[in-house]
Structure 1
Amino acid sequence: MEHAANVPAAVVRIGNASGFYGDRLSGFDEMVEAGVDVITGDYLAELTMLILARQKQADPAQGYAKTFVKQLERSLERVAAAGTKVVVNAGGMNPAGLAAAIRELAAGRGVALPVAHVDGDDLTGRAAELGLGDPLAANAYLGGWGITAALARGAQVVVTGRVTDAAVITGSAAWFHGWGRGDHDQLAGAMAAGHVIECGMQATGGNFAFFTEIADMLRPGFPIAEIAANGDSVITKHAGTGGAVTTETVLSQLLYEISGARYAGPDATLRLDSISLAQEGVDRVRLSGVRGEAPPPDLKVSVTEIGGFRQQLTFPLVGLNIEAKAELIKRQYDYGLEVSGLPRPERLEWSLARTDHADSDTQEAASARLTLVARDSNPKVVGRAFANVAVEFALGSIPGFFTESPPVEASVYGRFRPAFVPQSTPTHTVHLADGERIVVDPPAQTLPLAPTDLDSRSAAPSEPAQASAARAGAEPEAAPAPTDAHRVIALGELFGARSGDKGSTANVGVWARSEAAWEWLRTELTPARLRELLPEAAGLAVTRVELPNLRALNFVIEGLLGEGVAYGARFDPQAKGLGEWLRSRHVAVPTHLIPSPTAQKAEHTQ
């Protein structure tokens, strides 16, 4: 197996070519060109499982990520000739179907390509027995040992169903280095590298708080992890591609969609509080010192079901008297439902976004948006007749009345909820190209997951009055007044953030760019203060974890996202912009913490 120049032979180079179902196809070509040992890809977000489950329900031959076949097709001969391993979770709800499609593609091109698939994650048929209800799909998050076994038995392409995002990396690294089930430190090191690269360009400048500091953001490259036998790794990217790999782009991704200091996986638990980051050169960041523990005794299960039906109407409100206009439309809609005799939906939610600006030079900039979201288990209750209520008072309502779209029928929405089963519940199975089956045993050693002394949970408080007012569309509270020793600035002038979703919860990780700023941050940004800065989190439980090694805090906000991304509880249903909202809030910070931008960046990258 060939390796890139200046990379020791004991290092496996794993390049990730897809961060989600729909990522750009050329990422795979980029990894082929880079000459990595293993090309991986992650395709299975929570929403994707809903999409694939519905596809398979309609046609049992479907249910996998078809774009992967297109990606592989573009470089099929080069991959086969180089012996490059390809490991992806694109099998989704039908890994056997995807394996068959790849074999058919290779045979049609006259290419010998041993393909294996890994399954056992799909527990849908056993859902009632396991106490999971009657979902559309229930899939356990498997680990990487099935991948390891398939590669060890000669497979060149391995496709899986629902495995953890990092498993395609850990399984590949364990195969290359010959790790055993008890090598928890090494596995945790690969988990850290896998967590960094599994979202593709998010490791190379994508979704990065300080993106204006990166010279070339036109098209960031995809990341590569060079993983050593001891679990240490270097994160880099293919030469000549855009974006950048810095300690902060890597740190930002480490904070993405995490919870506590313990980051659990099926094969090991990663101690996030053990990771050390160092810039080794241009676009090269080392992760070292990673400690791991035995995995928990239970596996997480992704339970996906049809939540009901949804109708959304948006009313732009232009110019003056925004609050009065919103109130009239709400009263007219309620009255219209009453006099029409239509049933009232099970859930009816109004929200007012004050996107209007005074004395605006465009109509859109002068407009706020009033949104109505209605949900019901019966599609007729929130169907076209329900939407037509707004049409009936269109000429007898506020000045400038119009809607963003005409009435339509209701749309189905999904619901995601996590569940847990013992590690022994799934039959984790490898299917080799020659028909042989290998069953992967559950781990012999487990350790129940528990908080560390760095984790703290703040229960849901009674909702502050100002939070209720904020959601009702009232003016935001005034920024804090400056003092001689403090200056009022946007939090993001000093601190970076990254946010994301896990089912109904949202996480936001915040990091400091200097030691002095870190000492202020860890004292100032408590769960109570976070709720003040993000009023949508008022009344919700918040868990905070300190990660001093990364100069970072992570917050998990329970219930912010309703019933998951497909539910659409808020306009940013995956909380992708939550961190940027937090960074935009004004805080009073000690003046001595505000260095020049050049000095600030230099301190963090030393």
Structure 2
Amino acid sequence: MPDRSIRIGGASGYWGESAMATPQLLNADVDYLVYDYLAEITMSIMARAHARDPAAGFAGDFISAILKPHAKAIAAKSVKIIANAGGVNPASCGEAARAVIREQGLDLKVAVITGDNLLGERDEIAAAAPKEMFTGAAFPDKDRIASINAYLGAFPIAKALSEGADIVITGRCVDSAVTLGACIHEFGWSASDHDLLASGSLAGHLLECGPQATGGNYTDWEEAGDISNIGYPIGTVSPDGSFTVGKPEGTGGCVTVGTVSEQMLYEIGDPQAYMLPDVVCDFSQVEIVQAGLDEVHVSPAKGYPAPDHYKTCLTYGEGYRGGTYVSFYGIDAARKAQKFCDNVFVRANKILRGHNLGDYSETSVELIGAESQFGDYAAFHEPREVVAKIAAKHSEAAAIGILLRELTGLGLATPPGLGSFSGARAKPSPVVRLFSYLTPKDSVTVTIDVDGKEITFQDEQGQGFNPAAINRPAPPQNPREPESAVTVPLVRLAWARSGDKGDKANIGVIARDPAYLPYIWAALTPESVAKRFGHFIEGGADAAQIDKYYLPGSHAINFLIDAVLGGGGVASIRNDAQGKGYGQILLAHPVRIPAELAEKLD
């Protein structure tokens, strides 16, 4: 196994992110640039575009903003590119990349990986009628399906690199695979090197969201400094699976134990059973240590054999949604906003009945600034300005159009203080739901096309995984009740990061000091977390399903809250449909600590 490390730059975390990372990282002597463009909603958008135009359906800005302006520098510096920019049409993305290379007279090989797109097998899949893997829901109407994609792993990427590819373009693969594929190729890791694969996957997980590892969305956000010039992350990975996270010199942002720990817990469920196509990862004992200014060392993770199925995500349409934001300011702003929203629905419902359209299937009003959504934690002062978000769902686009028309049509009959900044009236948009199920690996054939040379690839079959067999670490012991105690908000003791897993939200909480963890563990019970988020949870706090996990290596806790995002993604009409702000809500949670410990807080 080679003893040299490799430097991988995380250059994109979603479709539409700023293109500033590529030139920044090209000047930082990296060996690889990796780009993650895809999410479930992205796949459905690309699928609709491909249905309208057979040449569309991929991340066009990968071609226009990355390859066209930077291909010559990429070639000159011998940097390898790995991107899941192919979306639902990797072949067209690959042809566009090859056209750029020809136009610029460069000698770069392009590999295109396909096989993840199962939409052509829709009828057979519908006949088998798999159940939704998390909720047990029945298979949706096949005529409403927009996309079906198996989440491929990293070994096809490694194979493409071994065939001499300079640029590897995939369709739907797991986000971390673009990094793990480079590690497998460079270090010769095999399918049985479970700990190494888990460690490379963790490196990919930290890089996949770009500057979220370097100060973006960070609890201590002021430490990030100049975010207009934020540095994108560089993972320097060693053959033993350990790695450091840094950023280019002279850039904004920061790389600390907090930024990296937050990103490790971002959008994961069970940290001891983080399931990927190539390995089942256990991050619970990973240690994260500050190694220098803007440099953090991450120890290897633990891994278990790969599962025998691919997670497969299907998106389908379920009616329409629409809404908008308006503001009210001045005296009684919150009550005025509520009055306005209530009467918008009164008017719209009268018109619905006149057209025999039926009621809205779901409605939502959130008064942002009034803290109306926080129940027992509401502010005790009267806000002088609020933003009202009003939205609804319906099976017919016409019904959403009626709501949007009445939202603007009530403008002269409103209580005083209404304001808005907008152009054209909002329009109805499709509700896109996610349906996840498992596909046996032996039923998916992967093809790798390296500039016309086609290779058929079959993944290792893997084996079933039993979460009940996991050896769980003993939780922190409950601390003794101190003689003198004070109550402080969680933010004084911890960092937090939250995100979405379908209709579930995860909130990772990391103690700033190991000494704080027993008090945090004791204070943050599933019951207290349920109470804080009860207004979001379907059925309220009493119906909450919350899992609590312990990560002793990073002095952290991960909560996974079910049915808390109103369907999640574009299926939701919530203001925060992806739970991105949930960590900030939890950071206000009270924690009792000894008075002498409180005296040592910064």
Same fold (TM over 0.5): yes
Correspondence for 1:545? 549
Distance 2:583 2:344 in 1: 36
* 2:308–2:440 Cα contact (<8 Å) kept: yes
Distance 1:321 1:78 in 2: 55
Distance 1:445 1:400 in 2: 62
* 2:288–2:299 Cα contact (<8 Å) kept: yes
Correspondence for 2:354? 341
TM-score after normalising by structure 1: 0.86
Distance 2:513 2:167 in 1: 44
1:59 matched to 2:53: yes
* TM-aligned CA distance change 1:368 to 1:215, over 3 Å: closer
Correspondence for 2:135? none
* TM-aligned CA distance change 1:33 to 1:394, over 3 Å: closer
Helix, strand or coil at the partner of 1:560? coil
What stretches of structure 2 of length at least 5 have no aligned partner? 130-138, 372-381, 475-481
Correspondence for 2:114? 119
Distance 1:211 1:148 in 2: 37
Deviation of residue 559 (structure 1)? 1.5
* TM-aligned CA distance change 1:591 to 1:381, over 3 Å: same
Distance 1:594 1:50 in 2: 50
Deviation of residue 80 (structure 1)? 1.5
Correspondence for 2:133? none
Correspondence for 1:197? 207
Deviation of residue 86 (structure 1)? 0.8
Deviations 1:141-194 (A, max 9, x none): 100111011100111110000000110111111001111111111111101111
Correspondence for 1:20? 14
* 2:333–2:385 Cα contact (<8 Å) kept: no
Correspondence for 1:11? 5
Deviation of residue 526 (structure 1)? 1.3
Correspondence for 2:277? 266
Deviation of residue 72 (structure 1)? 2.0
Correspondence for 1:574 among 555, 573, 578: 578
* TM-aligned CA distance change 1:324 to 1:150, over 3 Å: closer
CA RMSD of aligned residues (A): 2.6
* 1:329–1:398 Cα contact (<8 Å) kept: no
Correspondence for 1:410? 428
Distance 1:127 1:591 in 2: 62
Correspondence for 1:234 among 239, 244, 247: 244
Pick which of 341-350 and 262-271 moved more: 341-350
Distance 2:521 2:362 in 1: 39
* 2:155–2:459 Cα contact (<8 Å) kept: no
Distance 2:501 2:393 in 1: 22
Helix, strand or coil at the partner of 1:43? coil
Deviation of residue 419 (structure 1)? 1.9
What stretches of structure 1 of length at least 5 have no aligned partner? 1-7, 358-363, 457-482, 599-606
* 2:11–2:210 Cα contact (<8 Å) kept: yes
Correspondence for 1:498? 497
1:373 matched to 2:367: no
* 1:121–1:141 Cα contact (<8 Å) kept: yes
Correspondence for 1:480? none
Deviation of residue 586 (structure 1)? 4.2
Distance 2:94 2:418 in 1: 54
Distance 1:293 1:345 in 2: 50
Distance 1:322 1:282 in 2: 46
Deviation of residue 404 (structure 1)? 6.7
Pick which of 404-413 and 577-586 moved more: 404-413
Distance 1:116 1:427 in 2: 16
* TM-aligned CA distance change 1:334 to 1:296, over 3 Å: same
Residues 132-531 of structure 1 correspond to what in structure 2 (within 5 A)? 133=140, 134=142, 135-260=145-270, 261-314=272-325, 316-318=327-329, 319-320=331-332, 322-323=334-335, 326=338, 330=342, 333-334=345-346, 337-338=349-350, 341-342=354-355, 343-353=357-367, 355-356=369-370, 366-383=384-401, 385-390=402-407, 395-396=412-413, 398-400=415-417, 408-433=426-451, 435-451=452-468, 452=470, 454=472, 485-531=484-530
Aligned residue-pair number: 557
Pick which of 409-418 and 587-596 moved more: 587-596
User: Which residue type is aligned with residue 500 of structure 1?
Assistant: G
1:35 matched to 2:29: yes
Deviation of residue 560 (structure 1)? 1.4
Deviation of residue 253 (structure 1)? 0.5
Residues 595-606 of structure 1 correspond to what in structure 2 (within 5 A)? 595-598=599-602
Correspondence for 1:602? none
Distance 2:337 2:259 in 1: 44
Deviation of residue 221 (structure 1)? 0.8
Correspondence for 1:68? 62
Helix, strand or coil at the partner of 1:337? helix
Distance 1:391 1:217 in 2: 36
Deviations 1:431-461 (A, max 9, x none): 111x2222222324324151535499xxxxx
Deviations 1:256-297 (A, max 9, x none): 000002211100111111312222222222222421111122
* TM-aligned CA distance change 1:80 to 1:519, over 3 Å: same
* 1:275–1:288 Cα contact (<8 Å) kept: yes
Pick which of 385-394 and 295-304 moved more: 385-394
Helix, strand or coil at the partner of 2:148? strand
Correspondence for 2:42 among 48, 52, 65: 48
* 2:118–2:148 Cα contact (<8 Å) kept: yes
Distance 1:313 1:217 in 2: 29
* 1:300–1:418 Cα contact (<8 Å) kept: yes
Correspondence for 2:102 among 98, 107, 117: 107
Distance 1:328 1:87 in 2: 50
* TM-aligned CA distance change 1:365 to 1:528, over 3 Å: closer
Deviation of residue 587 (structure 1)? 4.4
Distance 1:429 1:568 in 2: 36
Deviation of residue 574 (structure 1)? 1.3
* Identity across the alignment (%): 31
TM-score after normalising by structure 2: 0.86
1:129 matched to 2:124: yes
* 1:313–1:403 Cα contact (<8 Å) kept: no
Deviation of residue 311 (structure 1)? 2.4
Helix, strand or coil at the partner of 1:34? coil
Helix, strand or coil at the partner of 1:416? strand
